[in-house]
Amino acid sequence: MAEADVAVEVESFLHGAKIIEAAIRTGADAIHPGYGFLSENAAFARDVLAAGLIWIGPDPDAIEAMGDKIRAKKLVAAAGVPVLEGGSFPLLIKAAAGGGGRGMRVVTEAEELEPALAAAEAEARSAFGDGTVFTEPYLPLARHIEVQVLGDAAGRIWVVGDRDCSVQRRHQKIVEEAPAPGLSGETRAALHRHARNAAEAVRYRGAGTVEFLVDGDRIFFLEMNTRLQVEHPVTEAVTGLDLVAWQLAIAEGRELGDAPPEPSGHAVEVRLYAEDPARDFAPQTGRIRAFTIDTSCVRVDAGVAAGSQVGIRYDAMLAKIIAHGPDRNAAIRLLGDALRRAEIHGLTTNLGLLRAILRDDDFLAGRVDTALLDRRLAAWTSADRDHPVRKAALAAAVGSAVRTAVSGRVQSRIPAAWRNVPSQERVRTYRCGDAEYPVTYTSRGGRLESSWLPGVSVLGIDGDRVVLDDHGVRESYRVTVVDGGVDVDGPDGSYDLRTVPVFTDPAANLAAGSLLASMPGLVVAVHVESGQRVAAGDPVMVLEAMKMQQTLTAPADGMVASLSVEVGRQVAAGDVLAVIDSAASAVPSTSSVPPASTVPSASTVPPADPSSSRS
């Protein structure tokens, strides 16, 4: 909105009638629906046309035909495109009327099928207004490959290359690249042929994407997205085409040429999300204090900037970062360097995970499939990254000490870290994630020294720059003192370090059995009442934020001693939502339970509210 000449506020981007009204009121002659839910809403497309406006997208009949997954499979199968058939386990339950990971469940055993179907139907009905679901064989080691197409009103179809989108979490993409690496010439040609046949089956007009699963040399149609894809920049990078400009041109009646340009080089895109990968990708909210990504070598499509407030209503994606190079290795190196030097503070993101993916041996070798993230997530988020955090904490402690000494109004000439008992070191404790780092340091001869981290010493401090020596390697860190902590940017990335106070507030002590909000969100369901007995693992309530729900469960057998929220209540991460009194337990339990004071486990499913963008 900051770059718009004219802006009209509407309650939600899902309110089609309000959007049409705004277009007419401002004198617009066309509507581009972006890549959210309205972009694949045939009824909205027809309403736009009925209002005398130009619809920048495919014919509503094509949207309708491909929007119903069951109908789409029959349609493309008749055109010779291979589809998944059969009912053997494992199975994937999918919503017929929508995608983006909504209403989707993997079922591995027969006894799981009935409850999974019920849950998927309810989710699909809430998200898309249609509870119809279907099943197909689940291929966990297949690759997710998609083909970009453009079509004009004259019936000409361009096949504009392919993309690999296999690195996913919760059936939503994290990394995309073009062209798809490691495909044989025969497989690539077959994918392009099948994509053309699918597009021609509905006389497709505009930009669209045909998605496939590739299992070895077998190809299966997944769906056709009748819209612009989030990952379209990688195709633009390797072809030089502006796909949005072509959407506009085709809507104005322009015809395509004989053939699209051949791809050149390689492009990789990552999606930066406000989420915590180490906590089951729980959404994160808050104000972004710093948001700096060097755009000299990468393209950044961002919806936020320093000072932006990230809330719970919409998708967790903050930005797309795209690198283009002469080959795949060059593109990955450029992208990895941009991510390494990115400075993002204020809320937890998946930036560290993205860096780890780009360094992974399997990814670098092109050995990707849709289960890669599940197999490698523990390694990508492992605690072996503890040493870089400790160095950041050391830089934060000594840098803050010098700043405090310089800016002090009283006794400002006293050296940093000076103590009247010189045998005792100063201590500053920081928290990063769940870990605490009690950094010790002292002043000797006017210089700050620390023996807290063996092999790492402080070489110098100049303004906001701290130089450390790590076993003979000099490293520079930028230290920014903020309210409640320190932001540190160094060679291993960015860290938000919160200062742990020396004296704790007695009011901060939690009652045993406290059920805490694992993420900021909206309470959408409460399954218990005060005084009700529960068993460990019983569902207590459901929180929703961005594109996911979390079911909070009882941490132990007991009785609901207090319940402090109701449906519709907005909560912050760490809020006490209920207290389970395990001393009042009368529920038999045959399994061990976690300590009552710990945060309970949470199972993750896509949300029931469709007020978020597609992925």
pTM: 0.82
- Is 237 in contact with 267 (CB distance < 8 Å)? yes
- Per the domain annotation, does 429 fall within a domain? yes
Q: What is the pLDDT of residue 504?
A: 59
Place of tokens 């990955």: 332
Output the domain CATH number for residue 599.
Answer: 2.40.50.100
Domain end (from 333, 350, 380): 380
- Per the domain annotation, does 123 fall within a domain? no
β partners of residue 175: 167, 270
164 shares its domain with 196: yes
257 shares its domain with 395: no
Number of domains into which the chain is organized: 4
- Per the domain annotation, does 197 fall within a domain? yes
Q: What is the pLDDT of residue 237?
A: 98
563 shares its domain with 519: yes
Output the domain CATH number for residue 347.
Answer: 3.30.470.20
d(CA 93, CA 255): 39
- Rama region for 154: left / alpha / beta (φ>0; ψ in -120 to 50; rest): alpha
d(CA 374, CA 206): 35
460 shares its domain with 481: yes
327 shares its domain with 431: no
238 shares its domain with 354: yes
d(CA 66, CA 208): 11
Domain of 238, in residue numbers? 142-380
Q: What is the pLDDT of residue 264?
A: 98
- Per the domain annotation, does 2 fall within a domain? no
Vertex 173 angle, CA 522 and 349, to 5°:
55
Average pLDDT per run of 10 along the chain, which is 615 residues long?
86 89 96 91 97 98 92 95 82 70 74 78 71 78 96 97 95 96 97 98 97 94 95 98 98 96 97 93 93 97 95 89 98 97 95 96 96 94 82 96 73 50 79 92 88 95 96 97 95 94 64 83 90 91 77 89 89 88 60 37 40 43
Q: Which amino acid is at 504?
A: T
Q: What are the strands, taking DSSP E only, across 152-288?
A: 157-169, 172-178, 206-215, 218-225, 266-273, 275-276, 282-283, 286-287
332 shares its domain with 405: no
Token pair recorded at residue 339:
């991510």
Q: What is the pLDDT of residue 69?
A: 85
Alpha helices in 309-459 (DSSP H): 328-341, 351-359, 361-364, 372-380, 386-407
Q: What are the strands, taking DSSP E only, across 411-518?
A: 426-432, 435-444, 447-449, 456-462, 465-470, 473-482, 485-490, 493-499, 514-516
Q: What is the pLDDT of residue 26?
A: 96
